[in-house]
Structure 1
Amino acid sequence: MAVNRGAALSALDVMRDAPVIPVIVLDDVAHAVPLARALVAGGIRMLEVTLRTPEALDCIRAIASDVPDAVPGAGTVRNAADAHAAIKAGARFAVSPGYTRSVGETCREAGLPLLPGVATGSEVMAALDGGYKELKFFPAVQAGGLAMLKAFAGPFHDVRFCPTGGIHAGNAPEFLALPNVACVGGSWIAPPELVRAGRWDEITRLASEAAALRRG
């Protein structure tokens, strides 16, 4: 189903669209559109293109222009300048490895849904203080994994998480079974070796399997 580009999008919309948000690293703009089409064909539309390469913004721009069924987002947003650049490139949402007031305020003022990264109770409280209740738990496995998310459920009962970092096809179902987990983030759906080889059918298969995962 095509995404209405004029429709307002919330962070919860991003998290609920599919069980998995792919974490994508692209260093060749030529791969952006076929990759996005392959993921959409498998049922994954929310695409986090990380700002880890010089080509990332051009990749977001290409997806936004040529793949209307995809919803491109910018990952690794670390400051206000990153957020502004992502918006200019056509990003519909942002994901950050941590939370700062500057990033939070910039995204809110621009109407850009943000999933800020947190790893501790204090960081969750800082994000809540900034008005954010949909958060990226990062790095998920290294920061305590399932046990930490279960511990968060008590004091932060109104927060929904997207665990990212160390998540793969084998452990994703355990995370998705938790009631405070709305989705997970992972790179296994679009591994660099398959992207470089142009194995789009294989990526569509991985996306289809991810889209079929059940949430708690």
Structure 2
Amino acid sequence: MTGPLASAEAGTTVLDVIAGDRLLPVVVLDDAEVAPRLGAALVAGGLRSVEVTLRTPAAVAAIHALADHTALVVGAGTVTSADQVDQVVDAGARFVVCPGFSAAVVRRCQKHGVPVIPGVATPTEIQMALDAGLSVLKFFPAERLGGLPMLEALAAPYPGLRFVPTGGITTANLRGYLDHPSVLAVGGTWMVAAGLLTAGRWDDVTTLTAAALAAAREGDR
């Protein structure tokens, strides 16, 4: 095994790595050939995990490239079918993130032994996730659903459940989310914005990543 888990203490899991960073970059890549450069930029900024969304035809190849060439724990996002789970796990994805809850996707991930973080927006979806044995969920789209007040309301009946709010998270509001005890980490795109990747501004990706990590960890000192 290579990457963050290889050098971590025994028993460290993929979710431990994400929780340690407290920040999960959500990437949309149109060109898999730049994936190694992106991975190097994120690692240089201090990150150990990344989510590549299945929103482009290049996504699976990009997951494979990142899994092969970086010291990152690489996951697949926007996974909506069990067949996609097979594809991304074969490509090297170590975790799966979904925009919503799919029992079929969860079952396939569990069959592969891969952590899955499904999106939830209602108590009903949370109950379904709990019934499936899950304890970490994505709150999405966070800001459009009402932001931190909505998350606090949803989390209140479920002590011990952890969330990864995603959607509208920035350096301006991430601290509020991360200060809430139910939040494991936040997902964001600003350090891997499409314009930066298209222009190959890898130094900027590193700088923004380092700044975002510093903001995310500020309250944990």
Instruction: Calculate the TM-score normalised by the size of structure 1.
Output: 0.94
Pick aligned residue for 2:157 from 152, 155, 158:
155
Flag the 1:165–1:128 CA change in 2: closer, same or farther, 3 A.
same
Structure that is richer in helix per residue: 2
8 Å CA contact 1:17–1:46 kept in 2: the answer is no
Match of 1:24 in 2: 27
Matched, 1:3 2:1: no
Matched, 1:107 2:140: no
Counterpart Cα distance in 2 of 1:4 and 1:153? 29
1:100-144 superposed Cα distances (whole Å, 9 cap, x missing partner): 111111101101111111011111111011011100000101112
8 Å CA contact 2:5–2:12 kept in 1: the answer is no
1:169-208 aligned at under 5 Å gives the runs 169-208=171-210
Match of 2:55 in 1: 52
Match of 1:85 in 2: 87
Matched, 1:40 2:43: yes
Pick aligned residue for 1:120 from 108, 111, 122:
122
Flag the 1:79–1:14 CA change in 2: closer, same or farther, 3 A.
farther
Instruction: Calculate the TM-score normalised by the size of structure 2.
Output: 0.92
Measured after TM superposition, the shift of residue 154 of structure 1 is 1.9
Measured after TM superposition, the shift of residue 14 of structure 1 is 4.3
Pick aligned residue for 2:75 from 42, 51, 73:
73
Pick aligned residue for 2:64 from 58, 61, 67:
61
Counterpart Cα distance in 1 of 2:198 and 2:137? 31
Q: Secondary structure at the match of 1:17?
A: helix
Amino acid at match of 1:50: T
Amino acid at match of 1:59: A
Flag the 1:115–1:10 CA change in 2: closer, same or farther, 3 A.
farther
Unmatched runs of 5 consecutive residues or more in structure 2 = none
Measured after TM superposition, the shift of residue 210 of structure 1 is 1.6
Q: How many residues align?
A: 215
Which segments of structure 1 move beyond 6 Å, counting only runs of 4 or more? 6-9
Match of 1:141 in 2: 143
